[in-house]
Structures are given as structure tokens and as C-alpha cells.
Chain A
Amino acid sequence: MDVRRSIPRYLYWLFCQFELITCSYLMEPWEKVLFYSFNLAMTGLLLYTAYVCLAFHLSSAFQLLWSLLGNPRENALSVVK
């Protein structure tokens, strides 16, 4: 009962801190709507970019690391021998 009530309360308190820090506590409702939608749009774009590009970057970084450790990988990039 305590845990079930305290997690939503804690999240609400975190949201209040966000409101205080970014001063959306002081804004009128339509300004809040504008501000939050802008924030959510930016976060959505960020997550999408991360999802699309991160896989490629992670795999190429991992390949570089693997080759640095002394185990060259057979692939199209390392044809020159």
C-alpha cells in the first residue's frame, strides 16, 4: 500500500521540481501546453535519432575496438592486404 502510493507521489513531486526549475509553474495554461508540447517533440526527435543512428554507431565502434584488440575482422572495409 505504501509503495503503491509513494511511487506515483514521488513522480508527481519530480514533475513539480521540473515545473519549478523551468518556471512552467508560473506560466498560464496555454503557455504550459506550448512549452510541454515543444519539450515532448524535442525529446521524441532525440529518441528517434538515437534509435535510428545508435545501432550503426555502436556496431562500427565495436568493430574498431575489436580490431584494436588485435583480431582483424573479415569485411568489405579491410580488403587491402
Chain B
Amino acid sequence: INHIVHNGGLYKRPFNEAFEETPMLVAVLTYVGYGVLTLFGYLRDFMRQWKIEKCQNATEREEQKDFVPLYQDFENFYNRNLYMRIRDSWNRPICSVPGAKVDMMERVSHDYNWTFTYTGRVIKDIINMGSYNYLGFAQKTGACQEAAAKVLSQYGAGVCSTRQEMGNLDKHEELEKLVARFLGVESAMAYGMGFATNSMNIPALVGKGCLILSDELNHASLVLGARLSGATIRIFKHNNMQSLEKLLKDAIVHGQPRTRRPWKKILILVEGIYSMEGSIVRLPEVIALKKKYKSYLYLDEAHSIGALGPSGRGVVEYFGLSPEDVDVMMGTFTKSFGAAGGYIGGKKELIDYLRTYSHSAAYATSMSPPVVEQIITSMKCIMGEDGTTIGEARVQQLAENTRYFRRRLKEMGFIIYGNEDSPVVPLMLYMPAKIGAFGREMLKRNIGVVVVGFPATPIIESRARFCLSAAHTKEMLDTALKEVNEVGDLLQLKYSRRRLVPLLDRPFDETTYEETED
């Protein structure tokens, strides 16, 4: 079902995004499951308080029992009664490079997930559907590894300084020029940690008296950066351009809350691919709105750089837009480049300002040289400058894998969220017991998946998230699909009623809360 375009042909390609509605029976049964678990949670808490059962979680000391209670809120209740029961699906220790296949250390728990012991056995060659390895650069052999090893023997591993003091290596300068060339912007700056890039640079760009319009489902780093900056934050509905336009109009017309003065700056925070939903931002419309209302755009391409676009340049290339329209292009090197760190790209004045005023540049240790070399080699590979076509082949392989995997899962009858072209594939599970059951059953069949529940998602919309990679061959995907099919039949996960609801451009009014209607 194609997106019906009413906005003057801003989109050069069909925009297929769908979020199928939760079936009513499934929602009711999910609440029943949570209700039963809550009752048993109260029972267990009662037993723990009256010492009938041994208390294994953190509690206050005897002397502090009369103080304000620390562990009585919902998060802690959820943690000790619901999360503990399915905890073995997370924090699994792996002991090899997280490529297309990974080795995992086996662990068992004899007291229902309160403690774990290692059996000593290593489960080999688990198909890895959970790592953010979109272009397959998480390798221990190959050109990237050799270059990184050479740089390691030349520069060592540590930098022992911040960027502004003695930590500015020539490798960093080379990396920043390369990143700027890759993105098509004037200048770029790289930081040691992707989370810190967002949380430390947004406060440097906006302050009190500015307005931040942030998407509902933005990542914690963007939320933290927005809150640390001290600016006023307003949330618009996820990927909903009518909601964003209404907020922009209100901001321009009414100005700041009490004084009615115009806002100093209006900054729109969006992400390229939202990793929990698998949706892609409607960038052409955002840019049109930004130009109309004279605001600034901060695009976080953590998951979309390297993964979208015909040559892997991200969501801007995917829509065929110019990088000059986006004021601040941020991204990370963790996902597609197999390294760690983040970057910000934009105009030269902006980046020079950030070099002086960013907290991350002034206080955080700069990037380690082997990591920088890994990024340089992988970026040159993607651009094709190392003389091979490996990069181009990988970008195309990822796109093929994405289309194939999503199509097959939808045909099987699972509810899959998100855009057709996003390599992040969330498969809806809904019920709490199925979260634990899915993780365990897939591990029994030698496939490692990431399952997500509350608080990363709304409480009834728990999901399993597959991250596709260019390193996955078709045989691996077929094996994985066969096992997912089997587990789906075993656990009854095929909820889809195949009622595809097209995304229409409807005028936004306050009474409309759902994006899709029957």
C-alpha cells in the first residue's frame, strides 16, 4: 500500500510504513497476564516483608525503615517481580566478535534468575540477529582489522587527554575531514561516545529561552541533552507532521510562555530510524516545515547512517535531499562502522563553535586511535575509495536482506512494525510470558534475538527486535526464518489480521489519537 501523497510530490519514492493495530483479544489477554503477575507480585512482596520468604533484592537497612521508602514505586515493583522472572534473556555474555555468528557462554540459574552460574560450556555459532552490525564491519579479519592493528602498534591504545588539551591526534583530523566528505557537509567533529555526543552537544547549541520540539519516541540521549540544556521542550506525536506544524504555529504565534517574546531558537529533534519502531522520519516534510517556519533541524542518524541510501550516506540520500538543508547532522560510528563514537556535521562556523564550547570536547577523553582507524578504513570501504566494490556490495546486500526478511515475516502472519526499508525489524509479542518464552526458545534453536519489554516500550507492546546485517547470507536468513516460523506456531504469535491500513494525510485535530483507524 503506497503512501498517498497530497503534499506536492515531496517524496520521490513510495513511503511504506505500517503500524498494525493491536488485536482486541490479544490486548485483553495481555492485561490478564499482567494482572495475574501483579497479584503474585503483591503476594511475594507480602511474604518477603513478613520474612516467610528470603529477601534477595535490595532493601533499606533496619535503621532506615522509618525514612522515605526507596523501593516502593512501580519501577522497583516491576523489577523484582516481573523483570526477575525473565531476566535470563538479557545481559547474555558473548565471547567472540559479534558478527553474523557469535559464541555465547552458557549460564544456568538455580534460584529463578536471582543468581547465575556458568556451566563452562560455550554455545558456538549462534546466528546473531541482535547486534547493530548493519554493514558487517564487526570482523576480526580483513582490511579494517589489519589497519587498526598497525595503528595500535604505532599509537598505542590510550590517548590520556581530552581533545582540547593534548588529545588531538592527526588521525582525528583525518577522520573529521573524511566524515565531512562522506556526508557532504563543510565540516565535522568526532567524539568518543555516541550517547555523549547527543547529551553534551545539545546543551551547547540551545539554552534557556529556546524551544525544542522533540519527537515522542526519541532516544534517551536526545531527551537527556534536551533536559540538560534548560530549553522549553514540547513533544509532537511520533512522525506526525500535522502535530509538528501545529506546535510550530503555536510557537511562532504565542512566543515564550509568560513574556510573549519570540523564541531565540526553535530546534526540531528527530531521528533517522527509530530503533524501537523501525520507522523512518518523514524528512522531506520536516525540511519543508523547517524552511517555512524558520527553525533549525537536528537529525540523529545513529541507525540510518550506512544503512539507508543507495551508497550508504544515510536518510538524507535515501530521500534524495541535500545535506545543506539539515543544520546539524549527528550520527554514531557504533552501528554501521563497527567502531564506537559519534560525530556531528554541519557548517564550518557551527563545528568551530562546538570545538570550543562542547562539554564533550572540553572534558571527555578523545577517541582511541585503533577505533579511529577502524572508522577511517570502513568509511573508505563504503565510499569505494579503497579500490574495491566491497562497500557498495554490502550496502546493496543489506537492502536485499531487509526486503526479503520483512516480506517473508509479513507473509508468515506476524505483526511487524515500521518502514519497508528499515533494517530494524520489530516483531510484536505483547504478552509478558511470551517475551521470556521467545528468547529462550530461539536460543535453544541457536538464534540470538533481543526481546524488549517495559520500560523501553509501552507496557503491552513488548516486541522482539531483529537487526539485519549485510553479513547475513541468504542461508542464515532462511534458517532464522524457519525457526521463527516454528516458534511462532508454538507460541501462537501470528496475530496479524492482514488488514493493511494505508497512511493517509488527514488534517490533525485534537480528538484524533490514533494514526490508523479501521
Size category of the B interface is: 10 to 19
Kindly state whether residue B431 has any CB partner on chain A within 8 Å: yes
Given contacts A26-B86, A28-B112, contact A20 B36 (CB under 8 A): no
Instruction: Write the nearest CB–CB distance from B164 to chain A, whole angstroms.
Output: 51
**8 pairs of residues in contact across A and B, judged by CB atoms under 8 Å:** A20-B491, A21-B29, A21-B32, A23-B431, A23-B433, A24-B433, A25-B433, A31-B40
Instruction: Write the nearest CB–CB distance from B40 to chain A, whole angstroms.
Output: 6
Asked if B492 and A26 make an inter-chain contact with CB atoms under 8 angstroms apart, the answer reads no
Asked if A22 and B492 make an inter-chain contact with CB atoms under 8 angstroms apart, the answer reads no
The listed residue with most B CB atoms (<10 A of its CB), out of A24, A26, A27, A31, is A26
Asked if A20 and B37 make an inter-chain contact with CB atoms under 8 angstroms apart, the answer reads no
Question: Interface on chain A toward B: helix, strand, loop, or mixed SS?
Answer: helix
Q: Which residues of A contact B112 (CB under 8 A)?
A: 28
The listed residue with most B CB atoms (<10 A of its CB), out of A13, A16, A20, A24, is A20
B interface residue numbers (CB < 8 A to A): 29, 32-34, 36-37, 40, 85-86, 112, 431-434, 436-437, 490-492
Asked if A17 and B33 make an inter-chain contact with CB atoms under 8 angstroms apart, the answer reads no
Additional A-B contact list (6), CB under 8 Å, known A20-B437, A21-B32, A28-B112? A16-B490, A17-B492, A25-B436, A26-B432, A27-B85, A35-B40
Chain A: residues with Cβ within 8 Å of the partner, total of 15
Instruction: Write the nearest CB–CB distance from A48 to chain B, whole angstroms.
Output: 24
Residues 1-58 of A at the B interface (beta carbon under 8 Å): 13, 16-17, 19-28, 31, 35
Q: Which residues of B contact A24 (CB under 8 A)?
A: 36, 433
Instruction: Write the nearest CB–CB distance from A33 to chain B, whole angstroms.
Output: 12
Asked if B40 and A22 make an inter-chain contact with CB atoms under 8 angstroms apart, the answer reads no
Residue among B436, B490, B491 making CB contact with A26, cutoff 8 Å: B436
Instruction: Write the nearest CB–CB distance from B87 to chain A, whole angstroms.
Output: 11
CA of A2 to CA of B458, assembled, Å: 43
CA of A36 to CA of B491, assembled, Å: 21
Q: Which residues of A contact B436 (CB under 8 A)?
A: 25-26
